[in-house]
Amino acid sequence: MNKLPDIGSNFAEWYQEVLVQAEVIDASPTKGCFVIRPYGYAMWEGIQQELDKKIKALGVQNAYFPLLIPEAFLKKEAKHIEGFSPELAVVTHGGGNKLEEPLVVRPTSETIIYHMFAKWITSWRDLPLSINQWANVVRWEMRTRPFVRSLEFLWQEGHTAHATHEEAVTMATNALAMYKDLYENYLAVPAIAGVKSESERFAGADQTYTVEGLMQDGKALQMCTSHVLAQSFPASFDVNYQDKDGTVKVPHCTSWGFTTRSVGALIMTHGDGNGLIMPPRVAPIQVVIVPIFKTDEERTAILAKVRGIKKDLDAQGVRCVLDDDETKTPGAKFFHWELRGVPVRVEMGPKDLVSNNVVLVNRIETDKAKKKSVVSADNLVSSVTDLLQTIQNNLLQRARDRMRSQWHQADKLATFGPQMDANGGLYQTGWCGSPDCEAKVKEFKGTIRCLLDEKQHSTCMHCTQPSKTDILVAKAY
């Protein structure tokens, strides 16, 4: 293993390298695509399972729709095709022949799902209709980065139809709250919920809600979005129904999605110079047990003891691995599991066996005096579960403290723009709502990440007009 690049001075290179060394991803022969290795996929599986339960709790059912979409479908909604045209992958030949109509590899599934909604929705009795799909999508990104931007990625996409606009807004905001809760309480990643500006909305949406995060290098990351779509979208696909009074109406629709970008977010939020740090709730492996011995007699006794410890931890639902590989030294094992970010390491050597103790090592501590603690083997299960909860809480608090330290109140773009360009961070400021003033942010390589509910600034960041809303400005991935 090579030494990781310095996380403080070369965050981008650290991120790329830690993903490979920790066996999260590997290179792919397809440019812009990445192989997710078992350890990385286990992270996504854990997120997927947790999120799937939350989605179903909202009354949404899973389904699956085709990967290939007739090109004509995307052309039915003008804003949608305009927004996605640069990112489309199009199939023109199949079976050795040119296709009569090109097929688009799904960038998102609104179009084909609304084609089906037109069949399934005919009466007010058919509403609300709530569907979710777990799938892969393809968007032809010019500059790719693992998990953050790649040609192909994995996600869930929820699509719902409602009788009223109010019901659609409730669904979209409930989805956003679900995402925010997952990020904060499962991934330990602080999440900022807000509304996108008109220029940053999803193509075809009346309103786009977003969950934003701040990574360790001071750049913002759009972690997921939720949309209330314009009624023109379902109308383009002849989605309509007969209401109770006999009138024909178009439903109000939402779409919302959460992707493997979440894996990148948790790694960029929590990792350090020694590798990954996994929040216990999402960690594929929560505890690794490393036996330490020299003689055959010590080996027999210590392995018998730690196998019993593993059995006890397994019985309590702790995701645990016993590393009894005798071809590696204890030091090599420590390095391996620390690189992969396993939250807790349990060590047992000959002296520990005699005293009936074990050593607990906390992955997130950097101070060696705090990092290790000696506990009784009889109380190990409760000690481990308590430590896992402490690590989960401390990771979220640490990330929140970091975000607060980089969240600035700012009045004038001319003043904070250069600071943002040089150092990153979040800047809360005022905005008059003018697209011209919004465009000025991009001169400093920033964007409006979201509109905020609270209002602390009375004038616009660029012009002298009164501010209509506070916004959050940042450089972003």
Q: What pLDDT, in 10s, does the model give residues 304-328?
A: 999 999 999 999 999 999 999 999 9
DSSP states of 97-130: EEEEEEEEEPS--HHHHHHHHHHH--BGGG-SEE
Sheet holding 426-431, edge to edge: 61-63, 129-138, 152-162, 252-259, 220-229, 205-214, 192-195, 447-452, 469-474, 426-431, 407-409
Do 215 and 268 touch, CB atoms closer than 8 A? yes
pLDDT class for 263, splitting at 50, 70, 90? Answer: very high
User: Which residue has better confidence, 366 or 337?
Assistant: 337
The pLDDT, as a whole number, for residue 80 is 66
Asked if residue 119 has pLDDT above 80, the reply is yes
> Does residue 277 fall inside a structural domain?
no
Do both 234 and 377 map to the same domain? no
Query: Range with the lowest mean pLDDT among 77-86, 131-140, 158-167, 255-264?
Result: 77-86
> What confidence category does residue 385 fall into, taking pLDDT thresholds of 50, 70 and 90?
very high
Is 126 part of any domain?
yes
Measure the CA–CA gap between 439 and 392, rounded to whole angstroms.
Answer: 39
Distance of CA 49 to the CA centre of its chain: 14
Return the residue matching tokens 């210590």: 302
Residues 162 and 190 grouped into a single domain? yes
| 164 and 231 in a common domain | yes
Average pLDDT over residues 55-76: 94
| pLDDT at residue 1, rounded to an integer | 67
What's the rounded mean pLDDT across residues 286-307? 96
pLDDT at 203 over 90: no
Tracing tokens 């972003």 back to the chain, one arrives at 476
Same domain, 207 and 299: no
CA 92 distance to own-chain centroid: 33
**Bridge partners, residue 61, by sequence:** 131
Mean pLDDT in residue range 108-126: 96
Q: How far, in Å, CA of 116 to CA of 239, rounded? A: 9
Short-list 446, 18, 39, 52, CA closest to 270: 18
Give the separation between CA 69 and CA 278, rounded to whole angstroms: 38
Same domain, 115 and 81: yes
Model confidence band, residue 81 (pLDDT cutoffs 50, 70, 90): low
Mean pLDDT of 222-239: 95
pLDDT value of residue 464: 84
- Judgement on whether residues 21 and 85 belong to the same structural domain of the protein: yes
Q: What is the predicted pLDDT for the residue at 83?
A: 67
Strand ranges in 270-409 using DSSP code E only, listed in sequence order: 287-291, 320-322, 344-348, 357-362, 372-376, 407-409
Q: Give the integer Cα–Cα distance in Å for 187 and 279.
A: 6
Domain count, the chain: 3
How confident is the model over 414-453, as pLDDT tens digits? 999 999 999 999 999 999 999 999 999 999 999 999 999 9
**Mean pLDDT, residues 164-192:** 98
Q: Please name every residue paired with 392 in a beta bridge, in sequence order, or none if there are none.
A: none
Q: Reply yes or no on whether the pLDDT at 160 is more than 70.
A: yes
Task: Please provide the average confidence, as pLDDT, over all residues in the chain.
Answer: 95
Check if the beta carbon of residue 440 is closer than 8 Å to that of residue 395. Answer: no
Residue 255 lies in a domain: yes
Co-location of 207 and 156 in the same domain: yes
The pair of structure tokens assigned to 334 is 């420590």
In the numeric block, which tokens belong to residue 273? 């110079």
Q: What pLDDT does 165 receive?
A: 97
Cβ(272)–Cβ(366) below 8 Å? yes
Q: Are both 246 and 341 inside the same structural domain? A: no
CATH of the domain at 449: 3.30.110.30
**4 in a structural domain:** no
Residues 43, 120: one domain? yes
- The pLDDT assigned to 75 comes to 83
Mean pLDDT, residues 276-281 taken together: 98
Judged against a pLDDT cut of 90, whether residue 84 lies above it is answered with no
Domain range enclosing 38: 11-270
Give the pLDDT of residue 187.
98
Question: Burial, 369: exposed, middle or buried (Cβ in 10 Å; 0-12, 13-18, 19+)?
Answer: exposed
Percent of the chain residues past pLDDT 90, beyond the cut:
92
Which among 364, 246, 345, 226 is positioned nearest to 292, based on CA atoms?
A: 345
Last-in-domain residue among 235, 270, 305: 270
Please report, for the domain that includes residue 341, its CATH number. 3.40.50.800
pLDDT of residue 369: 62
Tell me the mean pLDDT in the region 259-266: 98
Please check whether residue 305 lies inside any domain of the structure.
yes
Question: Where among 223, 242, 270 does a domain terminate?
Answer: 270
Residues 427 and 377 in one domain: no
- Asked if the model's pLDDT at residue 103 lies above 80, the reply is yes
Residue 6 lies in a domain: no
Co-location of 177 and 93 in the same domain:
yes
Question: In this structure, are 143 and 228 located in the same domain?
Answer: yes
Rounded Cα gap, residues 130 and 288, in angstroms: 41
* 1 within a domain of the structure (yes/no): no
Type and span of the H or E element at 325: none
pLDDT on residue 85: 76
Grade residue 74 by pLDDT with cuts at 50, 70 and 90.
confident
Residue 397 resides in a domain: no
Which of 362, 390, 418 delimits the end of a domain? 390
Q: What pLDDT was estimated at residue 82?
A: 72
In what side-by-side order are the strands of the sheet with 97-105? 68-70, 97-105, 89-94
